[in-house]
Amino acid sequence: MDCIFCKIIAGDIPCHKVFENERVLAFLDIGPVSTGHTLLVPKKHAANLGEGSTDDAIELMKVVHQLAPAIMKATGATGYNLGMNHGVSAGQDVFHTHLHLMPRVDGLARTFVKMSPTMEELAATAEAIRREVEV
Ligand code: AMP
Ligand code: ZN
């Protein structure tokens, strides 16, 4: 199947991984709106939340609950936005279910404008998050 997130899950395309369990992979968005912007993706392909299983929908929120403290600690964030573009009308670009977790730092503008970090910057952010996950 020609799905970029399935290719990332299969390891055929690299990503800046921050966490994985049996059902979910979490990696940094390459066009983040904030430092630490993470995509949470069920490993089993479904075009959107509605087409996937209830178990995968529940698991996404479990991983948010588990991972958000580590992401906030690593990025100095004091809050975060969650977002999902479900369907073309909502602006979905990649048709494999994904939840955006966008850390927010007090005092910084809360925009949805994409930044262009270098691969080195993304790698450093991912490593900082992984360190907090392992603590
Ligand atoms: P949307 O489908 O509108 O929720 O957006 C898809 C998101 O996936 C965008 O924020 C992209 O920056 C992100 N994205 C696309 N390709 C990759 C990739 N190879 N690695 C990480 N993030 C990606
Ligand atoms: Zn897929």
Does residue 20 carry a pLDDT above 90?
yes
pLDDT at 135 over 80: no
| Active-site residue set | 98
In terms of CATH, what superfamily is 4-130?
A: HIT-like (3.30.428.10)
Q: Taking 90 as the threshold, does the pLDDT of residue 1 lie above it? A: no
| Domain coordinates in residue numbering, the chain | 4-130
Q: What is the 3-state secondary structure (H, E, C) of the chain?
A: CCCHHHHHHHCCCCCCEEEECCCEEEEECCCCCCCCCEEEEECCCCCCHHHCCHHHHHHHHHHHHHHHHHHHHHHCCCEEEEECCCCHHHCCCCCCCCEEEEEECCCCCCCCCCCCCCHHHHHHHHHHHHHHHHC
Q: Check: CB of residue 84 under 8 Å from CB of residue 41.
A: no
Q: What is the mean pLDDT of residues 47-70?
A: 98
CA of 27 to the centre of ligand 1 (A): 10
Considering the chain, what is the average pLDDT of its residues?
97
The pair of structure tokens assigned to 17 is 């991984």
Instruction: Locate the ligand 1 atom nearest the alpha carbon of residue 29 and give its number.
Output: 22
Residue 64 in this model has a pLDDT that exceeds 90? yes
Count of CB atoms situated within 10 Å of the CB of 108: 13
- Distance in Å, CA 72 to ligand 1 centroid: 21
User: For the residues 93-109, what does the mean pLDDT come to?
Assistant: 96
Q: Does pLDDT of 46 surpass 90?
A: yes
What pLDDT is attached to residue 91?
A: 96
Q: What is the mean pLDDT of residues 9-35?
A: 98
Q: How far apart are CA 51 and CA 22, in angstroms?
A: 19
pLDDT band at 38; cut points 50, 70, 90: very high
Instruction: Give the tokens for residue 9.
Output: 């899950």
Say whether pLDDT at 105 is over 90.
Answer: yes
Residues 42-68: what's their mean pLDDT?
Answer: 98
* Residues at CB less than 6 angstroms from ligand 1: 4, 15, 29-31, 39, 85, 91-94, 98
